[in-house]
Homo-oligomer: A and B are copies of this chain.
């Protein structure tokens, strides 16, 4: 019996670089210079972080689960690695880099994992036992989480430009107060 999970998760993962490109590549700079919150990330930071996760988190953790199971905890993942790695790179270069890494990693995933592996267990250094299935679902939802962050950053660049309409725009209100509800 073939499970849909691997196919359906990969279907989301392979979209993300295309969505990032359509959303950000060539966008005027006036949309791109603002972080999602006061101490948050710009869209460029988000792409840098997605690159870090492709390099350090997803496939390395798949490999640890397959080779060592729960005996070897995952190595920790530096959420701010992009700050020192990519200070000079232009956004289009980062988008290309992310797309290349994602393509290579999905090819690697297809060679590594079969349906029967999805319930194999690994050990997260903080969260404890997790399954390979949970790791792959998290890979996809982590994309969505950070893309939503990029949307908040894009919107934030026009916080003043919308004038009184801000009262109706939850994506702007939440940058000031996470519990704010639009009118």
List, in ascending order, chain B residues with CB within 8 A of A31's CB: 8, 11-12
List, in ascending order, chain B residues with CB within 8 A of A18's CB: 22
The number of residues on chain A lying at the interface, defined by a beta carbon within 8 Å of a beta carbon of chain B, is 54
In Å, the complex CA distance between A135 and B155 comes to 14
Contacting pair A8 B23 (CB below 8 A): no
List, in ascending order, chain B residues with CB within 8 A of A7's CB: 28
Q: Among A94-102, A105-113, A141-149, which stretch is in contact with chain B?
A: A141-149
Nearest B residue to A165 via CB reads B138
Chain B nearest CB from A115 CB (Å) reads 15
- Interface residues of A, Cβ cutoff 8 Å to B: 4, 7-8, 11-12, 15, 18-19, 22-23, 26-28, 30-31, 124, 126-128, 130-131, 133-135, 137-138, 140-142, 144-145, 147-148, 151-152, 154-155, 158, 161-165, 167, 169-172, 174, 178-181, 183
